[in-house]
């Protein structure tokens, strides 16, 4: 089945007189749910950014006192970054699906604002016009992961010199 066939479960001739009104209400709710996913993604980013910042601080605070922490904590940090990256990919996928459905819904509405906006932004293909936030935010966990790898390597190099 196509997206359109999945979207329209019953036509206006079967549904009745409130069809258009109910379609508009469903559209509003669906757009709000897409915004809700973006809000959840933003909160997750804030959480992981704070957690990783605290972890790097923790490493630096205790690096000289406990050599094991200087190696274990960066490994935990790398794991957090992998989870964070995967979560961002999941949110990106959910929003991609929601906007495909929104674009399909707009084909039945008098105006197609999201579709027109996406066209105006070059569908995210030209970074001079628009660089999708999801592509930019996907780099942040890997920057932290690289920092953790560097801290881990530095801890391993410093380990033999600790004696």
15: number of Cβ within 10 Å: 13
pLDDT digits (tens, 9 = 90+) for 52-111: 888 888 777 766 666 666 678 888 899 999 999 999 999 999 988 999 999 888 888 888
Q: Do 137 and 88 contact (CB within 8 A), yes or no?
A: yes
CB atoms within 10 A of CB 108: 15
Summarize pLDDT for 115-134 with one digit per residue, the tens: 888 888 888 888 888 887 77
Nearest to 68 by CA among 163, 157, 156, 144: 156
Cα(112)–Cα(106) distance, integer angstroms: 5
Instruction: Give percent of the chain with pLDDT exceeding 90.
Output: 25
pLDDT tens profile 124-160: 888 888 887 777 888 999 999 999 999 888 877 876 5
128: helix, strand or coil: coil
Residue 46: which pLDDT band, with cuts at 50, 70 and 90? very high
C-alpha 42/C-alpha 137 separation (Å) is 10
What would the mean pLDDT of 5-31 be, rounded to a whole number? 82
Contacts of residue 30, defined as CB under 8 A and 6 or more positions apart, other chains included, come to 98, 101, 102, 105
Contacts of 42 (CB under 8 A, 6+ apart): none
Query: Given this model, what pLDDT does residue 87 score?
Result: 93
Judged by DSSP in three states, 13 sits in helix
Please list, in sequence order, all residues whose beta carbon lies within 8 angstroms of the beta carbon of residue 85, skipping any fewer than 6 positions away: 138, 141, 142
The pLDDT of residue 72 is 81
């Amino acid at each position: 089945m196509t997206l359109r066939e999945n979207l329209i479960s019953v036509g206006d001739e079967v549904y009745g007189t409130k069809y258009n009104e109910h379609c508009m209400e469903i559209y509003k709710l669906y757009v709000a749910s897409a915004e809700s996913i973006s809000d959840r993604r933003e909160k997750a980013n804030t959480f992981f950014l704070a957690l990783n910042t605290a972890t790097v601080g923790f490493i630096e605070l205790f690096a000289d006192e406990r050599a094991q922490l200087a190696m274990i904590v960066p490994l935990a940090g790398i794991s957090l970054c992998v989870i964070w990256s995967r979560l961002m990919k999941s949110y990106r996928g959910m929003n991609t699906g929601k906007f495909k459905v929104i674009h399909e819904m707009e084909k039945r509405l008098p105006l197609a604002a999201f579709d027109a906006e996406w066209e105006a932004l070059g569908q995210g293909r030209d970074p001079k016009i628009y660089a999708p936030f999801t592509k930019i935010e996907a780099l942040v966990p890997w920057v932290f992961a690289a920092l953790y790898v560097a801290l881990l390597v530095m801890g391993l190099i410093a380990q033999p010199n600790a004696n």
